[in-house]
């Protein structure tokens, strides 16, 4: 699982999305970042790894979603980047839908490390690649997923679940690709019905 590095990478994703929207060419955009070190990373290997990670996520977004990364509000960008991480990694998506959103719907106030660990154990029973991970890697995965949720303002610093306040533009951008993608956010069934109208 390659998401053991960083969080949502908002600033870097904004740069890459902006370059792509100008050129409509992923390779050219990545080359520009690499050649000019636009992420200001100290080593080439780290820069390549970050470019690979970010491009792997945001390439999965639709055009309206990419536009939000270029000119949306900070909160809209964070929500789209959370969506991108969920689209890139089934593990994160399933955690978001099965644990984060379910806790929110059941009015469980916070997420704890044990929620993640239990989810991980359940998934490891069916996915051999998870069961072979070390405890240190599992701890790192938990740390990064919780960091991403904090950066997306889906949980507080104390791990309290925060309702996702999605803008109309964000909802429209999400629904333009797949209306089930909103399920990765802590939102109510009432909100889902309202957005479906």
In this predicted structure, the answer to whether residue 107 has a pLDDT above a threshold of 90 is: yes
At 2, the pLDDT band (50, 70, 90 cuts) reads: low
Angle at 168 between CA 188 and CA 91, to 5 degrees: 55
Let me know: does 60 contact 87? Beta carbons within 8 Å.
Answer: yes
- The residue whose two tokens read 């390439």 is 59
Extract the tokens encoding 143. 């740390």
Contact criterion met (CB below 8 Å) for 84 and 56: no
Hunting for tokens 């069934």 — which residue is that?
Answer: 189
Q: How far is CA 177 from the centre of its chain?
A: 16
Q: Is the dihedral of CA 44, 48, 49, 54 positive or negative?
A: positive
* Residues in Cβ contact with 110 at an 8 Å cutoff, skipping those fewer than 6 apart: 103, 155, 158, 159, 160, 161
Tokens of 90: 């089934």
Q: What is the mean pLDDT of residues 131-138?
A: 88
Distance CA 152, CA 144 (A): 12
What would you report as the CA-atom Rg of the chain, rounded to the nearest whole angstrom?
Answer: 17
Look over the chain and give the mean of its residue pLDDT values, rounded to a whole number. 92
Cα–Cα distance measured from residue 99 to residue 185, given in angstroms and rounded to the nearest whole number: 11
- Asked whether the predicted pLDDT for residue 166 surpasses 60, the reply is yes
The mean pLDDT of 48-52, rounded to a whole number, is 92
Reading the block at residue 18, the tokens are 């902006």
Distance, CA of 92 to CA of 57 (rounded, Å): 12
User: What's this model's pTM, rounded to 2 decimal places?
Assistant: 0.94
In this predicted structure, the answer to whether residue 4 has a pLDDT above a threshold of 60 is no
């Amino acid at each position: 699982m390659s998401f053991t590095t960083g969080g949502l990478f908002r600033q870097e994703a904004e740069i890459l999305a902006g370059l792509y929207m100008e050129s409509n060419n992923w390779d050219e955009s990545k080359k520009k970042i690499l050649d000019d070190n636009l992420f200001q990373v100290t080593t080439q290997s780290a820069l390549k790894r970050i470019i690979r990670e970010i491009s792997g996520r945001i390439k999965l977004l639709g055009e309206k979603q990419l536009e939000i990364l270029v000119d949306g509000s900070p909160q809209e960008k964070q929500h789209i980047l959370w969506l991108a991480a969920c689209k890139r990694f089934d593990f994160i998506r399933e955690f978001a839908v099965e644990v984060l959103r379910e806790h929110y719907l059941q009015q469980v106030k916070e997420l704890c490390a044990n929620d993640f660990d239990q989810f991980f154990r359940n998934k490891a029973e069916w996915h051999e690649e998870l069961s072979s991970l070390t405890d240190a890697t599992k701890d790192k995965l938990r740390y990064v997923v919780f960091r991403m949720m904090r950066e997306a303002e889906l949980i507080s610093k104390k791990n309290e679940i925060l309702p996702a306040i999605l803008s109309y533009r964000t909802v429209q951008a999400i629904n333009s690709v797949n209306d089930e993608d909103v399920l990765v956010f802590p939102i109510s069934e009432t909100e889902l019905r309202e957005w479906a109208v």
